[in-house]
Amino acid sequence: MLDCAIIGGGPAGLAAGLYATRGGLKSVALFERGMPGGQITQSSEIENYPGFFDHTKSGMDFMDGWQKQCFHFGLEHRMDEVLQIQKYGENFTIQIAGKDPVSAKSVIVCTGSTPKKIGIPGEDEFFGRGISTCATCDGFFYKNKEIAVIGGGDTALEEAYYLSNICSKVYIIHRRNEFRAAPSTIQKVQNKENIEIILDATAKEITGDNTGVSGILLESKNGNIIKLEVPGIFVFVGYNVNNNVLKSSDNSFLCDVNEEGQVIVNLKMHTSIEGLFAAGDIRMDAPKQVICAAGDGATAALEVISYIQERS
């Protein structure tokens, strides 16, 4: 029986593992099929993690240090695929692909959310080398440069506006002829001098070379091909919340989730189920930043320690 099962190995899961093991819990396992680290390992550079400011280090280098720190304190990494988390009585059962289920006194779910892709040539190739899904993380790397934003919802427009305060010019590319965003947001974007809106245009291909992105090819409604030469492309076409592990066979969720499928938590990262905590991008109102996910993970682990102490 595990004291704590941590599901997911991004910043939230790793921070939870560090705090849970260093805090004296004896058996803590982090379930992550691949290498821990999360989305940030795809970034070529990090400069907004407070206290870490080394332009020579990549996201992979950065998370490598985290892992070592966690394992130093006794965190166990299980390279298993978690299928479902169930609660029976006081304890949890973790269903694992191809293996026996594992029991745990507490669970921290940190499976995050995944930005949706548009699915065009060049997108995978240049991800993290000119293509980003996070304006806060990567906008500054394009200070005084021209960039393109793909998407037409609230997030796309808000992030485009955010980027327009940093970049010299922002193209917003949307495949429909009107935006699906709040009228005030649309107006703000329309009024901003250095934002150019391209409607009825479909992204066809992202071009580049071994230095990264060089531009994007668009097809207009009447079939014309437009080429934008930009070193940066931000894609905001929605997120998939990775909440499958909380779903039972009848599609109901183990704990309360909001309309978008994000786990409802309080400031202590408690979910609606005792002993079940959530941290990072899977929770409601997550700012989707490494530093915030790490804070969540630490918070959840401290609550797990209290919970286990109360039970014993």
**Active-site residue list:** 134, 137-138
Size of the site for its own copies (CB under 8 A): 58
Interaction between residue 145 and its own copies (CB under 8 A): no
Q: How far is the CB of 104 from its own copies (least distance, A)?
A: 18
Residues 183-202 interacting with its own copies (rule: CB under 8 A): 184, 188
Nearest distance in Å: CB 265, its own copies = 7
CB atoms within 10 A of CB 79: 12
- Number of Cβ within a 10 Å radius of residue 201: 23
Q: Which long-range contacts (CB under 8 A, 24 or more apart) does 77-83 make?
A: 77/9, 77/29, 77/30, 77/32, 77/36, 78/29, 78/30, 78/31, 78/32, 79/32, 79/33, 79/34, 80/31, 80/33, 81/33, 82/7, 82/31, 82/245, 83/245
Q: Helix, strand, or coil here: 114? A: strand
Residue 261: name the closest of 286, 230, 284 by CA: 284
Distance between CA 273 and CA 295 in Å, rounded? 21
- List the x/- string, 3-32, binding to its own copies by CB under 8 A: --------x--xx--xx--xxxx-------
User: Which parts of 115-134 interact with its own copies (CB under 8 A)?
Assistant: none
Amino acid at residue number 53 = F
- Quick one: 206 or 294, whose CB is closer to its own copies? 294
Binding mask 238-277 for its own copies (x = CB under 8 A): ---------------------------xxxx---------
Contact criterion met (CB below 8 Å) for 198 and 172:
yes
Segment (H or E) for 135: helix 135-138
Least Å distance, CB 65 to its own copies, is 6
Give the count of beta carbons closer than 10 Å to the beta carbon of residue 90. Answer: 9
For the stretch 261-275, what's the b/e string if a residue is b when 16 or more beta carbons lie within 10 angstroms of its beta carbon?
A: bbbbbeeebbbebeb
Residue 14 CB, shortest distance to its own copies, in Å, is 6
140 vs 256, beta carbon nearer its own copies: 140
Binding pattern for the stretch 40-69 against its own copies, x by CB under 8 A and - elsewhere: -------xxxxxxx--------xx-xx-xx
Instruction: Please report whether residue 109 would count as binding its own copies according to CB under 8 A.
Output: no
3-state DSSP assignment of residue 214: strand
Instruction: Pick one of 156, 181, 218, 298: the residue that binds its own copies (CB under 8 A).
Output: 298
Question: Is the Cβ of residue 100 or residue 259 nearer to its own copies in the bound state?
Answer: 259
Give the residues lining the site for its own copies (CB under 8 A): 11, 14-15, 18-19, 22-25, 47-53, 62-63, 65-66, 68-69, 72-73, 136, 139-140, 158, 161-162, 165-166, 184, 188, 265-268, 283-285, 287, 289, 291-299, 302, 305-306, 309-310, 312
